[in-house]
Amino acid sequence: MKSFLKEYKCGKARLVTMLEDSDDPVVKTVQPSRKTGTKWKVAEAIDEAKECIKLEEVTYANWKNGSPSGTSVRCGIFRNKYPHKGKWDHVDCSEKYPVICEISEVVVVVVVEVEVVVVVVVVVVIIVVVNVVVVVVVAVVVVAVVVVKLVVVLLLVVIVVVEACRNGSGIVVVVKVVVIVVVVVVVVVVVVVVVVVVVVAAVIVNVTFIVVISFSKENICYSNAYLPSTLSNSCIRIASGSTNLVTWERAREKCKLESESDLVVIKSSQMNTFIADQLKSENTGTQFWIGLNDIRQESDLVWLDSRNK
């Protein structure tokens, strides 16, 4: 197998993947010279295909020695153990291995999430500021009223004391006045303390609310389970451990259900190295499912591409 091509839709036609060295007359009609290029040109010989059929050739491969081979339906795995670490192999699709998922086009998702967070935070900040201002204003009014009442009481006390001294009953009146003043002062202190506590509590609650809202919209690609790939607009998730041992088809379902993703597609040596480096921290799993398969056509292994379904 010298190379393989991805399926591509063009107009009403659907061109399936075929070997480059196929003897099929239709394939030979549209196949370019090996000296002139790697892309297929115009497929006039294919029924209903009147438009250009443009196929992306998979030029990068990192197979283990002796692979791919065999004629039964096979699915691709990424080896994580020397001497084949970082190499690809293909095995029966019903075998069970851990999974490497890939979420594509995460830049768009991140932008959307960031915009949502900004809008939510701005709205919440406005609400918080209004709440705090209202609480502070109410607190100031309450304290002002209490202080005014205290001043009035003190003035009345002064008047009463002066009158009592003139009438000769000053000692008794002074004692009563002292008791009244103490009571008033205690009440004022209690009211002020309560107001301060309410204001502080309101500020703490609102600030906490902002923090919770700000971090509740975390993008799934940047949670602890995901490893952002700087090589493309995607990120990968490594699902290892005994609870993640599944068949190839179940692996695809797992990626879809848990993260709206699909099995990883490896299109360059840089991406292959990136994945191999991430697997160094995995304690379990000597091989992982990836998005290679020949389910549609035996012996013709092709990549999944969730963006072109």
| Cα angle: 257, vertex 261, 263; to 5 degrees | 105
User: 53-73 pLDDT, tens per residue?
Assistant: 333 445 688 888 877 776 666
Instruction: Give yes or no for a contact between 261 and 106, defined as CB atoms under 8 angstroms apart.
Output: no
Distance CA 246, CA 260 (A): 17
| Residue 227 counted as domain residue | no
State the chain's maximal CA–CA distance in angstroms. 131
Instruction: Give yes or no for a contact between 100 and 290, defined as CB atoms under 8 angstroms apart.
Output: yes
Q: Do residue 203 and residue 127 come from a single domain? A: yes
pLDDT at 78: 93
User: How many domains is the chain built from?
Assistant: 3
Residue whose C-alpha is closest to residue 27's, from 292, 308, 300, 294: 300
Q: Do residue 2 and residue 75 come from a single domain? A: no
| Residue 117 counted as domain residue | yes
Q: Do residue 150 and residue 94 come from a single domain? A: no
| Residue 220 counted as domain residue | no
User: 243-283 pLDDT, tens per residue?
Assistant: 789 999 999 999 888 877 889 888 888 888 888 888 876 55
Distance CA 134, CA 199 (A): 10
Distance CA 292, CA 287 (A): 14
Q: Do residue 98 and residue 240 come from a single domain? A: yes
Q: Do residue 180 and residue 263 come from a single domain? A: no
User: 171-214 pLDDT, tens per residue?
Assistant: 666 666 667 777 777 777 777 777 777 766 666 655 555 444 44
Distance CA 227, CA 14 (A): 35
